[in-house]
Amino acid sequence: MFWKLLSYPRSLLALIWFPIHTMLCALALIIVNLTMNNRPLEDHIVEFWTRNACRMFGVKVVVKGLENRPSGGFLYVFNHTSFFDIFAMNGYLGSFRFGAKIELFKIPVFGPAMRRAGILPIARERREEVFKVYQAAEARIKAGERFALAPEGTRQNSERLGNFKSGPFIFAINAKAPIVPVIVKGAAAILPKGHTVPNWGVWSRTVTLQVLPPINPNEYTIEQRPQLQERVRKVMEPYFQEDSTQ
């Protein structure tokens, strides 16, 4: 009961501090990018931002399967239920860049920082623009960069797999990028879709990231994209069977 009562002021204080923390980190990233163009330092800033976002709201992160990550460029695909998917993955899965909805790029300071960091702007309602973004990123992934995309396209209301979109799989085939599925468990309870205050009434929760073995897209043509999409889905589905029975 004591920790539950203490969680309310903690979450409120963290909610006040979080945007300040975010803007300071975004400003630092812009300055580093403009003056040094130092990717490892930029990654360190992103990691500092996201790990502290987890800590201030009482979120612990457990990572399994890091040994499954291949060398070179690849594409993480993950189930998306909360902003804390993003924080946990960026904080604890090494250097990569997300695809983020284009509306976030309009936020002062934060938006320019996202562009400077190389985050992919995703205009969900404009399919052609999305594929232009993916096409421009192909050279980056072939050069060794890593990306993360949510194949469901948007946050889900619970930890169940939604319908997969074709975009991430077309991107992987064209870029010849191994697909690394990530199972995110526990994030939905921290900040469900439609909620404002993380961990309200709970002192601590844990997010578990399970990194699965890579899937080679080179075995598939663009016309065979549905088979690749279904293969990835079948690999991820067993981790949600228990939830689907509830």
Q: For residue 156, what pLDDT is reported?
A: 87
**Cβ count within 10 A of residue 93:** 21
In tens digits, the chain (246 residues) has pLDDT values of 888 999 999 999 999 999 999 999 999 999 999 999 899 999 999 999 999 999 999 999 999 999 999 999 999 999 998 889 999 999 999 999 999 888 999 999 999 999 999 999 988 778 788 889 989 899 999 999 999 999 998 888 888 898 999 999 999 999 999 999 999 999 999 987 778 899 999 999 999 999 999 999 999 999 999 999 999 999 999 998 765 444
Using the structure block, give the residue that is written with the tokens 């993916």.
Answer: 134
Structure tokens at 130: 């999305």
Q: For residue 131, what pLDDT is reported?
A: 86
Q: For residue 246, what pLDDT is reported?
A: 43
- β pairing state of 59-64 and 120-122: unpaired
The domain in which residue 191 lies consists of 2-238+240-244
Quote the number of domains for the chain.
1
DSSP string, 192-243: -TT--STTTT-S-EEEEEEEPPPB-GGG--GGGHHHHHHHHHHHHGGGGHHH
**Cβ count within 10 A of residue 53:** 23
Q: For residue 242, what pLDDT is reported?
A: 61
CATH assignment at residue 11: 3.40.1130.10
This prediction has a pTM of 0.91
